């Protein structure tokens, strides 16, 4: 069966080798991209918590994002991209102009910075875990614990398409969806391996195979073929529109979800909303083949309206930093942060840095 596949297993790549574990003893080179709005605030709290684990990191800050673009006209130069390739990991806060700002045309930062990093660094898995935060335990909020694996380099995000007769009444605009067997398979394979490692061992493919009969067919066939290699993993299929209903009405059904780039973008905002709010949603843009650094960022945006107020919730950035430590092989440090986050609920009215300090203190106590 495996002869059918182009992708080698990523199992060995997702678990650091002994050599990589030896490296874990020295310090890691981390690029920090605070970005815009509340980005720098939440990254600062995340790095406090990383420091509290005792894992040694050398950080280099990069000034990238909307304000940098407005000041200099530069989004991401080739030289900076090349520098970033040399780091062990990248932690990003948020980038984007204030809503209504006309200084940054739509797509400038999305395509020029975030997607450029995802594509150039081949961050082909966007892993987004969702778990109900502790303060919701007694409320009517459903207890959920699932992970969305979003294919991160293809689909409608690939940028295929263009204009014909632009600006005329006869204008044509196309925006294609690029789905390669290679790209689809590596995302699906990662999702199966993740599902296999979890207690529930369940994987749901989300797509729209009833309408997207070309790309959906490729996704379904590839899913079915890979599933043969994971007999212990139970599988399901949901159309994306139905998945939106299920996610609101009975999200406990989900363990791991795998889906394409655009469906994954939309579904993970919904998942954030039903699992405590987007202030808790972390993400890991992974290059599981480890041909370069992976990038970790909260799902939320720059939230310019609350800059400097102390209202920004640093939890998503802190969890993203824990995902970074986990991917670097610092399992104990990552687990120390995860277990604090699983039981920590901030006092009402706590500010961004009070939350960061409280989590850092608990992590430090657990790590010593």
Positions annotated as catalytic residues are 157, 208, 241, 265, 269
Among Mn ion, ligand IPM, none, what binds residue 110 when CB lies within 5 to 8 Å by partner kind? ligand IPM
Site string for ligand IPM, 214-253 (x = CB under 6 A): ----------------------------------------
User: Three-state DSSP class for 129?
Assistant: strand
Closest CA to 49 of 333, 280, 326: 333
Closest CA to 295 of 105, 76, 98, 71: 76
Please pick, from the candidates 88, 154, 185, 265, the single residue that binds Mn ion as defined by CB under 5 A: 265
Closest distance of CB 221 from ligand IPM, Å: 26
Contacts of 102 (CB under 8 A, 6+ apart): none
Question: Residue number with the shortest CB distance to ligand IPM?
Answer: 110
DSSP notation for 239-262: EHHHHHHHHHH-GGG-SEEEE-HH
Please pick, from the candidates 46, 49, 84, 114, the single residue that binds ligand IPM as defined by CB under 6 A: 114
The region, left, alpha or beta by phi > 0 then psi within -120 to 50, assigned to residue 303 is left
Site string for ligand IPM, 261-300 (x = CB under 6 A): ----x---------------------------------x-
Binding segment for ligand IPM among 71-79, 109-117, 192-200, 209-217 (CB under 6 A)? 109-117
Angle at CA of residue 54, ends 52 and 55, nearest 5°: 115
Beta-carbon-side half-sphere exposure of residue 268 (alpha carbons within 13 Å): 30
Contact between 185 and Mn ion (CB under 5 A)? no
Please pick, from the candidates 110, 120, 145, 361, the single residue that binds ligand IPM as defined by CB under 6 A: 110
Site string for ligand IPM, 295-324 (x = CB under 6 A): ----x-------------------------
Which phi and psi (to 5°) does residue 9 adopt?
-65, 145
Closest CA to 130 of 112, 142, 148: 148
CA distance 161 to 177: 9
- Residue 87 vs 157, nearer CB to ligand IPM: 157
Q: Which residues bind Mn ion (CB under 5 A)?
A: 265
Q: Which residues bind ligand IPM (CB under 6 A)?
A: 110, 114-115, 265, 299
């Amino acid at each position: 069966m495996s002869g059918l596949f182009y992708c080698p297993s990523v199992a060995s790549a997702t678990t650091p080798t002994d050599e990589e574990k030896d490296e874990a003893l020295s310090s890691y080179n981390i690029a920090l991209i605070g970005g815009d709005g509340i980005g720098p605030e939440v990254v600062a709290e995340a790095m406090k918590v990383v420091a509290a684990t005792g894992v040694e990191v050398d950080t280099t800050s990069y000034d990238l994002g909307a304000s940098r673009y407005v000041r200099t006209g530069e989004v991401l130069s080739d030289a900076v991209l090349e520098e970033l390739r040399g780091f062990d990991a990248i932690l990003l806060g948020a980038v984007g102009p204030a809503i209504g700002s006309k200084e940054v045309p739509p797509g400038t930062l999305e395509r020029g910075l975030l997607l450029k990093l995802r594509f150039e660094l081949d961050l082909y898995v966007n892993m987004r875990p969702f778990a109900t935060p502790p303060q919701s335990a007694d409320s009517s909020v459903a207890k959920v614990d699932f992970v969305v694996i979003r294919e991160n380099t293809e689909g409608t995000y690939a940028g295929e398409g263009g204009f014909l007769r632009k600006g005329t009444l006869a204008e044509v605009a196309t925006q294609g969806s690029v789905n390669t067997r290679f790209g689809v398979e590596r995302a699906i394979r990662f999702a199966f391996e993740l599902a296999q490692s979890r207690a529930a061992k369940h994987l749901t493919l989300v797509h729209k195979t009833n309408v997207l009969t070309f790309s959906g067919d490729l996704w379904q066939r590839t899913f079915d073929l890979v599933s043969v290699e994971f007999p212990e993993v139970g599988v399901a299929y949901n159309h994306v529109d139905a998945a939106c209903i299920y996610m609101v009405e009975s999200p406990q059904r989900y363990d791991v979800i795998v889906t394409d780039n655009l469906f994954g973008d939309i579904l993970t905002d919904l998942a954030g909303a039903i699992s405590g709010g987007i202030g808790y949603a972390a993400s890991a843009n992974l290059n599981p083949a480890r041909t370069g650094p992976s990038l970790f960022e909260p799902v939320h945006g720059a939230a310019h309206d609350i800059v400097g107020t102390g209202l920004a919730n640093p939890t998503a950035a802190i969890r993203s930093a824990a995902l970074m430590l986990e991917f670097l092989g610092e399992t104990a440090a990552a687990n120390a942060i995860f277990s604090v986050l699983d039981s920590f609920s901030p006092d009402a009215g706590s500010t961004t840095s009070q939350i960061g300090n409280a989590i850092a203190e608990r992590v430090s106590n657990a790590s010593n």
